[in-house]
């Protein structure tokens, strides 16, 4: 039946090209094209010229997914329990559910993989080829796509599709999920309202973007938020928001828009809060300069602990050039970052905030001093009894976090 579906799919695509129509924007039209093609194939099968279909309904679903969706991957993309899909060696397909990966009983041909990539990139204006072996893009549903060409991935394309759990769009939802304690969530909500600069750290797929979204859900009404990302991932429930995304260079090597450029441009957009989806390189310098100019901000960073995140943030700006030194960066990070929320993921796939750290604003040698406000004890995120050394932002909005930081508070 797989061969029959491939033949019918080719017939539908040929007709679409001849008619010059776009099936992506019209579900009824796509279904009609597919239904007609399956009926025509079934009639030919009665004459013995082609093999018969075991199930015409199933064939229609498979062909429809191939021409309008993403073929054999579409059922898994539609499955809300699947968090991420990836293809290795050009044929082996894996999925992650609840943080745990598994190999799917599905193998793709090289042609099917290339066709999938072409369709995924068709609406993004991005490409993968000899000159651009890596590509990051956003799919229409907001999922993040990463493709490595066969030139750099052992002769076969490597594909990752990261989906996002939009139901976890608030701190309360994270509490219900067990990723955050109620007391810590209330403190973080108060910190967001106070305009604290928050650094979200953790390893890959620990939930950094989800926590950033949840934190943004707590901003005060009327705040103008500008997000800066390599590919669109953040989708916070904010009315006044501008989302900026990087752009790859053209075939001529021109037109590239980097994160550094976007951070600089965002300051001309009257942001009340600037959010960088992920800080990886020299854009850390531009972010620090923005935070040092009075703009509230948030960002995520890969790190093994909250203190490692601070240390990394003092190193990345040095990539901006030789005229940047630690004498500027260290005190700037110490003064600008108010809180670090660190996440972790365990072997069972459970994601959880495991530490909340508050820098004191002081530097001892090359180390930024900080107080751990919340730490994991017995599997629960509990207050340590420490308080932030700087409370001016809380006081400015009439907030007092003392009660929320007390040990044993309900």
pLDDT tens per residue across all 410 residues of the chain: 667 877 888 887 787 778 776 665 555 777 888 888 888 888 888 877 788 888 888 887 777 777 767 878 888 888 888 989 999 987 899 999 888 899 999 888 888 888 888 888 876 777 777 777 888 888 877 788 999 987 887 778 899 998 865 556 789 999 998 999 999 999 999 999 999 999 999 998 899 999 999 999 999 999 999 999 988 888 888 999 999 999 877 767 778 899 999 999 999 999 999 999 999 999 999 999 999 988 999 999 999 999 999 999 999 999 988 788 888 899 999 999 999 999 999 988 889 999 999 999 999 988 999 999 999 998 889 999 999 999 999 999 999 999 899 886 65
Helix H or strand E segment including 135: strand 134-138
Contacts of 403 (CB under 8 A, 6+ apart): 409
CB-neighbour burial class of residue 408 (10 A; exposed 0-12, middle 13-18, buried 19+):
exposed
CA Rg value for the chain: 25
pLDDT tens-digit readout, 15-45: 777 877 666 555 577 788 888 888 888 888 8
- Quote the pLDDT of residue 165: 57
pTM: 0.79
- The DSSP code for 51 is P
CA distances from 49 to 2, 4, 33, 90 (A): 17, 12, 21, 33
Round to whole Å and give the CA distance between 109 and 23. Answer: 24
Measured CA to CA, the distance from residue 365 to residue 362 in angstroms comes to 10
Residues 6+ away with beta carbon under 8 Å from 212: 200, 234, 236, 275, 277, 298, 300
Q: What is the pLDDT of residue 352?
A: 95
Q: Residue 298's pLDDT is what?
A: 97
Predicted local confidence at residue 219, as pLDDT: 94
Upper half-sphere CA count for residue 218 (Cβ side, 13 Å): 24
The rounded mean pLDDT for the chain is 87
Residue with tokens 């598994």: 102
Residue 269 token pair: 């957009």
Contact, 61 vs 36, CB < 8 A?
no
Q: How many CB atoms lie within 10 A of CB 32?
A: 12
Is the Cβ–Cβ distance between 138 and 72 less than 8 Å? no
């Amino acid at each position: 039946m797989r061969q029959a579906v491939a033949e019918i799919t080719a017939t539908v695509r040929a007709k679409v090209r001849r008619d010059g129509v776009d099936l992506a924007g019209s579900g009824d039209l796509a279904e009609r094209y597919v239904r007609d093609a399956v009926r025509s194939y079934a009639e030919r099968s009665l004459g013995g010229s082609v093999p018969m279909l075991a199930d015409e309904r199933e064939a229609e679903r498979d062909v429809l997914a191939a021409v309008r969706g993403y073929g054999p991957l579409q059922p898994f993309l539609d499955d809300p329990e699947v968090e991420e899909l990836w293809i290795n060696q050009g044929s082996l397909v894996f999925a992650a559910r609840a943080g745990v990966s598994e190999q799917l009983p599905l193998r793709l041909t090289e042609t099917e993989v290339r066709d999938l990539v072409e369709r995924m990139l068709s609406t993004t204006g991005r490409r993968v080829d000899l000159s651009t072996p890596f590509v990051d893009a956003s799919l229409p549903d907001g999922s993040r796509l990463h493709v490595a060409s066969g030139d750099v991935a052992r002769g076969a394309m490597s594909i990752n599709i990261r989906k996002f759990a939009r139901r976890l769009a608030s701190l309360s939802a994270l509490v219900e999920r067990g990723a955050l304690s109620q007391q810590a969530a209330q403190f973080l909500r108060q910190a967001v309202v106070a305009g604290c600069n928050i650094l979200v750290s953790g390893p890959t797929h620990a939930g950094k973007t989800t926590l950033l979204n949840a934190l943004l859900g707590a901003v005060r009404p009327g705040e103008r938020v500008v997000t800066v990302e390599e590919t669109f991932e953040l989708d916070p429930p904010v009315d006044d928001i501008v989302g900026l995304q990087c752009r790859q260079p053209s075939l001529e090597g021109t037109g590239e828009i980097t994160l550094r450029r976007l951070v600089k441009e965002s300051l001309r957009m009257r942001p009340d809060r600037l959010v960088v989806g992920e800080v990886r390189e020299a854009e850390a310098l531009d972010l620090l300069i923005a935070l040092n100019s009075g703009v509230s901000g948030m960002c995520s960073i890969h790190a093994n602990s909250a203190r490692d995140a601070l240390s990394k943030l003092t190193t990345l700006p040095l990539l901006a050039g030789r005229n940047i030194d630690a004498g500027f960066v260290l005190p700037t990070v110490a003064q600008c970052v108010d809180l670090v929320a660190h996440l972790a993921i365990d072997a069972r796939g459970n994601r959880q905030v495991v530490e909340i750290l508050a820098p004191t604003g002081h530097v001892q040698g090359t180390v930024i001093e900080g107080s751990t406000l919340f730490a994991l004890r017995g599997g629960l995120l509990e207050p340590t009894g420490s308080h932030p050394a700087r409370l001016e932002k809380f006081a400015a909005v009439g907030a007092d976090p003392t009660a929320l930081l007390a040990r044993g508070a309900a």
